Amino acid sequence: MVELFYSLLDQTREFQRVAKPPASSVGQFLRMELGRRVASWTDGPETQQLKLAILSNLLHVECCVSGTHSMDLVALTAFGEYTVLPGLDCTLPGGYQGLTDRLAASLPEDTLVLNKPVKSIRWKGTFEDAGSPGDTFPVLVECEDGDCFPAHHVLVTVPLGFLKERLDSFFDPPLPREKAEAVQRMGFGTNNKIFLAFEEPFWEPGCRHIQVVWEDASPLRDPEPAPTHDTWARKLIGFWVLPASGSAHVLCGFIAGQESEFMETLLDEEVLQTLTRVLREVTGNPQLPAPRRVLRSRWHSAPYTRGSYSYVAVGSSGDDIDLLAQPLPTDGEDPQVLFAGEATHRTFYSTTHGALLSGWREADRLAALWDAQTAGSAEMAVAPTREVETVPLTQ
């Protein structure tokens, strides 16, 4: 089933330049192709149902990878533009914080201000700074605590989820219509991790992954109704066994979509009880000890994130990613508001490397601008000297 699913998923990447694709979404295409394959299956009904259940799990895995509620929301024609970075997954010591700490360490002291939410970005203005009398700046960053920072340029890297929610109030003047529409069209969903810590591992030594398959599930059935206390956990794809650390034996579960957002609204206690029930069911051991602790992300409820990462939604395309990445103003003036972050990288969207590369892209843009301006003013400074020098020769 794994081979079948991933061979079909590979096919979904082949519609990039196809004028009339066979379906609008990745989910629709997969269901269509699976339906055709299932029609030729000759196994008994029980085996067929088990195969469908496994395929349903794999579809939910793909929802986690794409950070979407359903693959029916993910555009088929753009899917092939996403590029997997070659190489192995790497786990950074101390988590991702280690990466940003390392990057920040190379900056001069006192150049970073943290825990300072921005309320709005005013651009196309003429703002003064008490610290540089006589100078004016086209941009003003206003923080929620009332502090203001005038600037020549602002690089905006807020998540697309935040941008979608604050589209009407975050920019003054508002974003141009085409950019605002691109933001609305682009997809941004939820994928959460749920960590469960156990006193003792109940899994076999060497076990790296526990896949949760619901025997009555099928990718061919109509979409699941809205999640409830009893049903949300059916979207959980399974658990990865994390390397043991001291006395901690930890499983990490992944869950995407509306079920993930529903899970965020529950108390830790309920999540722990529900997942204990799930694990008892899948292991067939009603006495399985409950985890001693649960820890989970809540990316959808987080006010400065409002979801996990972006995907190219039906009705959107890679052009929207490029539109979002375009600096403002677009009339050839010096860039005032620039955009980076994972949602602005056309082929590596949804990833850390996409975010990093997009930041470098915009840093290069500004460096090139300032290099050109510095070279220009150096030339202007040199030019009169040359003129003065040439005067005696022409006399």
Ligand X SMILES: Cc1cc2nc3c(=O)[nH]c(=O)nc-3n(C[C@H](O)[C@H](O)[C@H](O)COP(=O)(O)OP(=O)(O)OC[C@H]3O[C@@H](n4cnc5c(N)ncnc54)[C@H](O)[C@@H]3O)c2cc1C
- Least Å distance, CB 160 to ligand X, is 8
- Least Å distance, CB 144 to ligand X, is 8
Helices 2-11 and 45-66, axial angle in degrees (round to 10):
50
Beta-bridged to residue 215, according to DSSP, are none
347 contributes a contact to ligand X by CB under 6 A: no
Comparison of 53 and 197: residue with beta carbon closer to ligand X: 197
158 contributes a contact to ligand X by CB under 6 A: yes
Comparison of 11 and 120: residue with beta carbon closer to ligand X: 120
Comparison of 56 and 260: residue with beta carbon closer to ligand X: 260
228: number of Cβ within 10 Å: 9
Comparison of 52 and 194: residue with beta carbon closer to ligand X: 194
How many angstroms separate the CA atoms of 79 and 26, rounded?
8
DSSP of 240-294: EEPPPBTTBEEEEEEEEHHHHHHHHTS-HHHHHHHHHHHHHHHHT-TTPPPPSEE
191 contributes a contact to ligand X by CB under 6 A: yes
How many angstroms separate the CA atoms of 108 and 348, rounded?
30
Using CB under 6 A as the criterion, what x/- string covers residues 109-128 for binding ligand X? --------xx----------
User: Which part of the chain contacts ligand X (CB under 6 A), choosing from 238-246, 277-285, 297-305, 326-334?
Assistant: 297-305
Comparison of 8 and 59: residue with beta carbon closer to ligand X: 59
Do residues 256 and 190 touch, judged by C-beta distance below 8 A?
Answer: yes
Do residues 220 and 35 touch, judged by C-beta distance below 8 A?
Answer: yes
Cis, bond preceding 329 (omega within 30 deg of 0)? yes
171 contributes a contact to ligand X by CB under 6 A: no
Helices 177-185 and 318-325, axial angle in degrees (round to 10):
130
Structure tokens at 384: 């009169």
362 contributes a contact to ligand X by CB under 6 A: no
159 contributes a contact to ligand X by CB under 6 A: yes
299 contributes a contact to ligand X by CB under 6 A: yes
- Least Å distance, CB 355 to ligand X, is 3
How many angstroms separate the CA atoms of 214 and 284, rounded?
13
28 contributes a contact to ligand X by CB under 6 A: no
Site for ligand X in 300-319 (CB under 6 A): 304-305, 308-309
Contact positions toward ligand X, by CB under 6 A?
Answer: 117-118, 157-159, 162, 191, 193, 299, 304-305, 308-309, 341-342, 350-353, 355
